[in-house]
Amino acid sequence: EVQLVESGGGLVQPGRSLRLSCAASGFTFDEYAMHWVRRGPGKSLEWVSSISWNSGRTGYADSVKGRFTISRDNAKNSLFLQMNSLRVEDTALYYCAKDLGFSSSFPDHWGQGTLVTVSS
Amino acid sequence: AIQMTQSPSSLSASVGDSVIITCRASQAIRNDLGWYQEKPGKAPKLLIYAASTFQSGVPSRFSGSGFGTDFTLSISSLQPEDFATYYCLQNYSFPQTFGQGTKVEIK
Q: For A62-116, how does the pLDDT look when each residue is reduced to its tens digit (9 = 90+)?
A: 999 999 999 999 999 999 999 999 999 999 999 999 999 888 789 999 999 999 9
If we measure between CA atoms, which residue out of A28, A98, A44, A66 comes closest to residue B100?
A44
Per DSSP, B80 falls in state G
Q: Residues, chain A, total?
A: 120
* CB spacing of B100 vs A44 below 8 angstroms: yes
- A2-11 pLDDT, tens digit per residue, is 999 999 999 9
Q: Does A59 touch chain B (CB under 8 A)?
A: yes
Q: In chain B, whose CA is at the least distance from the CA of A43?
A: B100
Angle B2-B7-B12 (CA atoms, 0-180°, nearest 5)? 150
Is B97 a residue whose pLDDT tops 80? yes
Cα separation of the two ends of chain A = 40
- Per-residue pLDDT band for B107 (boundaries 50, 70, 90) equals confident
> Do residues B96 and A50 lie in contact, with contact meaning Cβ atoms separated by under 8 Å?
yes
- B6-65 pLDDT, tens digit per residue, is 999 999 999 999 999 999 999 999 999 999 999 999 999 999 999 999 999 999 999 999
> What is the pLDDT at residue B98?
98
A vs B, Cβ pairs < 8 A, gives 56
Q: Does B22 touch chain A (CB under 8 A)?
A: no
> What is the pLDDT at residue B61?
96
> What is the pLDDT at residue A102?
82
> What is the pLDDT at residue A104?
77
* CB spacing of A47 vs B87 below 8 angstroms: no
